[in-house]
Copies of this chain bind each other. A is one copy, B any other.
C-alpha cells in the first residue's frame, strides 16, 4: 500500500571522523523515502530550488519513488552543514540555510490523495497538522519531531500529536517532551498527549515501542529491538529517518496492523538505520538489495533471540 511522506529535501555538508563530504543529497523526506521504498510504494512531498537537478531526482526515481509532489521553485534548496567530529551521537551544526524551505507549504498532488499511510517527517508541527487534516482517509499516520519544536512550538506540537498514531523520536526528545527523566514514565506522558504508540530510538542501543493502553487492541507491554554493534559509523546523518522509513514502510507493506507486525517493523527500522550509517547520507541505500536487508534482519534476530 502507498505511503505519502512530507518533509525536507536538502543538500548537506558533513564532517565525520571518516571524512568530509559536500552537497550530499539529504533531508528528512529523502532519507525516509529511500528507506521505505524497499518495502512499499512511496510518494513524496517537498520543495527544492534550482540547484536540485534531474540527476538528484533520479536517485529517488531509481528506487521507484513518486516525485510528482516535489515542488520546484526559484532559489536554492535547503542546505545544512554539520559535524560529528567529537561526538558521533550528536551533530554540531555549522550552518543552516533554509532557502526555499523557509516558505514551504506542502501541496499534495491529487494523485496522492488515495495514500493509505502517511509519514510527517520533521517539519513545523503546524504544517504537519495541515497535511494530516487534508489527508482525511489515511489509515495510519506516523510522525517525527525534534527539540527545536518541542521547545519553540509546543502548543502547535500538542495539536499535531492528537493527529498522529505513531510518534518516532529519540531518548532526549522523549524526555523533553514528556518532562520526565525516566524513559518509561516519559513515554506514558507522551502517549497521554495523543499517539497510540511511541517509538523511542536509543541510537546504538536500538529502539523501544511503547503502547497506549488498548492501542491497536494489543495490550500495553512495550517491545524492544536491538541495534547492531557497528564498528565503523561513517555518518549518522539520516539514520533516524531511515529507521522511520524501514518501520513505516514495513507496516505499509502488511495487510494488517497487529503486535507482530509492529515488532517486525521495529526490527526493520533498526536494520535500515544500521545500513544508513555505513555511508554518507543515505548513499548506502542506493545499491542496497532486499536480500541484504533480509540477511541483516536475520543477524538482528540472532543477536537477541534465545533458542
Contact = CB atoms under 8 A, between A and B. Distances in A.
Interface of A: 88, 181-185, 187-188, 202, 204-206, 208, 210, 221-226, 229-233, 260, 263-264, 267, 299, 301-307
Given A206-B205, A303-B224, A306-B301, A230 B264 contact: no
A231 B306 contact: no
A88 B182 CA distance: 9
A233 B305 contact: no
A230 B305 CA distance: 21
B183 A303 contact: no
Contacts of A264: 306
A288 to B, nearest CB: 21
Nearest to A180: B231
Given A205-B202, A264-B306, A185 B224 contact: no
Contacts of A185: 231
Contact of A184 (B181, B187, B210, B229): B229
Contacts of A307: 260
A302 B205 CA distance: 18
Given A88-B181, A226-B226, 4 more contacts: A187-B229, A223-B303, A260-B306, A267-B306
